[in-house]
A and B are shown apart, each in its own frame.
Chain A
Amino acid sequence: MASQPEIWAYSEKPILLGELLGGARVLAEKLSGRVIAVIVGPHTIAEDAIKMGAEKVYWLGDIETRLVEDYVPTLAELLKEYKPAILLIGNTKRGKAIAGRVAARLGASAMIDVKDFIPSASGVSTRHMIFGGGAVREEKPQTDTLIATVGLGNFENADTDANRSGEIIAVPFIKPEWKAKLLGRKEKKVTSVNLAAAKRVVCVGRGLSKQEDLVMINELAHLLEAEVGCTRPLAEGLDWLPRERYIGVSGAFIKPDLYLGIGVSGQVQHTVGITDSRVIVGINKDKDAAIFSQADYGIVGDLYAVVPALISALKARK
């Protein structure tokens, strides 16, 4: 390992770079380490990484017609040579693919969707949810580099300061052993929402009987200046709301001042994602719903009576 531990941030998506560098800076402070970025893409992104606090950037060059995954051998060789203490990667599907493939080349295990990093004298361990949120496993890699993916909202965005300076080192591309041919891409309609940053969240669960009733939920959210979130079945299965609005173990983890759960039963797969909310409110017609044992305030009642009453009361206050 380098004499001063190096924390590397690698983002396969420019939009995640700020948070990964923010995280790298937090960890570098705790470990008295240095922040280094690994960039695939335009040179301007490498320059941005310096402005966001990277002391050094390994610039893998413009992607041209390559896939991000084609850089796995290049990244793995860099890691073997410099042995950073930590490599942070965005917790996207591509990020997980790169983490796993690079880990295999290093004989390591990658830690996915890490919620906490715990530094100690003997290195850094990580916490990750297992059993669909039913348990938390803390583990410590037995290899030189801790490879970890982190989801949106785990760290604050790194601030940008144009006066920061650093070194940008161009790294030659290593040709992979095999190549997939890109035949095409189909864009998906994605709503950009950052639930992790929301101050108030109105979350809707299976208690809602039909998709059209989301109009009422949206109206309530609008009055509360809240973001709308949902439990997994509404985003995956029913497809009433986009995947980005799903809160829970494999979705968003939120920390709003106010969480208002409407027709949410309160299963652990969902509630692990709301633990850090300051005030939790549950509205459910089943008095035995698990949400009530995890809420600060609960209303046992039909959401189709309570939500309209709440909307009128909020309107009256305006």
Chain B
Amino acid sequence: MNIIVCVKLAPDAKDIEVKVDGSISVEKAEWVISEYDLPAIEAAVRIAEATSGKVTAISAGPTSINNSKLKKDVLSRGPDELYLVVDDEMKVNDTHFTTRVLAGAIQKLGPIDLVLCGEGSSDLYFQQVGLQLGETLGLPVFNAVGKIDAGADRLVIERNLEDEVEILELPLPAVLAVTTDIHQARLPMMKDILKAGKKPVTEWKIADLGLNDLKAGVNVLSTTAPRHVERKKVIISGSADEAVQTLLGYLSKEGVL
């Protein structure tokens, strides 16, 4: 089976900085594989292993993703090759724009059997690209997929919804967004890391994809630190019994008991 796994490379949330004006900067952040995509890579690799197939990883993003450590990190987790669409136009970070670019790259690659995506991205977490991608490619698409049984031309999947698990059969090719509990992602071993350095990486620009009428679906107005409410920050001391009595006194006064 010829499988594509879409991987988002994004700034690490723990490195974001709040500037004095309350806006957010990711300039000093390290870029990492979006954590929700690790189980998707694992699922793709397992299906490929079971079907003597091949896994191609695709990522699209600004120049920051074109980093040898990141590329090696993706490939050390099992994909056979990597395609990167590196273009600073990707800075808009919009689900519609990303979808069009990924769809263009997938169409350029030729016939495929299955496309896997993670549940959402570690930065925006809109959980949309997999769904928009399936629809844009005109393929069967489902999200919240917690289990995949791959047959020759059909899939049986389990969809993990809020109040039920839905078991569905669908034709291939298809696009699936998988949940984080589909598989525990394996940790790359030294031999995987060494092998990753020898796997092929192809770089494209958006212009190489021949996309017409490509524009963002949104205009980002601001990215700021969350609203902060000043709190009283009263630390109550004393033994557990004393502290509890003091607390209840305060809470009575606040009228919340």
Contact = CB atoms under 8 A, between A and B. Distances in A.
A275 B170 contact: no
B221 A140 contact: yes
The interface centre, meaning the residue of B24, B127, B136, B159 with most chain A CB atoms within 10 A of its CB, is B127
Interface residues of A, number: 83
A139 B167 contact: no
Contacts of A279: 251, 254, 256
B31 to A, nearest CB: 13
The main secondary structure of chain B at its interface with chain A is mixed
Contacts of A135: 16, 24, 223-226
A43 interface: no
B245 A313 contact: yes
Interface string B214-253: 0111111111111111011111110011011101101100
Contacts of B228: 275
B21 interface: no
Interface stretch (B59-67, B70-78, B83-91, B137-145): B137-145
Contacts of A250: 125
A96 interface: yes
Interface stretch (A23-31, A77-85, A291-299): A291-299
Interface in A269-296: 272, 275, 278-281, 287, 292-296
A70 B141 CA distance: 11
Contacts of A94: 161
Contacts of A224: 257
B122 A132 contact: yes
B27 interface: no
Contacts of B244: 299, 306, 309-310, 313
A104 B135 contact: yes
B171 interface: yes
Contacts of A92: 161-162
Interface in A235-293: 243, 249-250, 257-258, 268, 272, 275, 278-281, 287, 292-293
The main secondary structure of chain A at its interface with chain B is mixed
Interface stretch (B38-46, B94-102, B108-116, B191-199): B94-102
Interface string B141-171: 1111000000000001001111111111111
B131 interface: yes
Given A141-B217, A186-B164, A294-B231, A180 B169 contact: yes
A182 B164 CA distance: 13
Contacts of B131: 96-97, 99-101, 104
A310 B236 CA distance: 14
Given A134-B16, A136-B225, A183-B156, A293 B167 contact: no
Given A132-B13, A297-B232, 14 more contacts: A69-B142, A100-B127, A100-B130, A104-B132, A109-B97, A131-B123, A135-B24, A136-B225, A137-B124, A138-B220, A140-B218, A243-B162, A295-B231, A299-B243
8 contacts: A93-B161, A97-B142, A100-B130, A101-B141, A103-B128, A130-B125, A182-B166, A295-B231
